[in-house]
Amino acid sequence: MRVPFSRVASRTAVDSAQSSLAALTVSVGTAGLAAAAARPGLLALVDQHAAAVRDSLDGDRRPLTAAALAGYAEGVRTVAYEHGWVPPTGPVDWSEPEWPLTRLVAVCALARSLQGA
């Protein structure tokens, strides 16, 4: 039995997006969301960023997807790198996280909400 190429490509794209979000969660999401759970101010900031991401992806009119979130995160990283941002290599000071880092943690929060849906 042959599987239509479009179905294979879609599954591959979904797997790739989910893999990208999983890697993002491991690199910044887990620690960032744990820090946000312990710091109300950071949690509010992450929530604001998540709302902005949702708005940017037109999340009120169509459901968010792993592919949309992964693409958004890649765009954030690319632009941040172009402006000289260097991702943290050690412990992060979550009392004043950099904008790109907060935005990426917000993407992780949204991705986590997709898993519960």
Report d(CA 101, CA 5) in Å as an integer.
37
Q: Are 25 and 108 in contact (CB under 8 A)?
A: yes
Report d(CA 49, CA 34) in Å as an integer.
16
pLDDT at 6: 46
The per-residue pLDDT of the chain, averaged, comes to 88
Helices (H), the chain: 5-24, 30-38, 40-56, 66-82, 99-116
Q: Are 107 and 73 in contact (CB under 8 A)?
A: yes
pLDDT at 2: 47
pLDDT at 13: 72
pLDDT in tens, 20-73: 999 999 999 999 999 999 999 999 999 999 999 999 998 678 889 999 999 999
Model pTM?
0.86
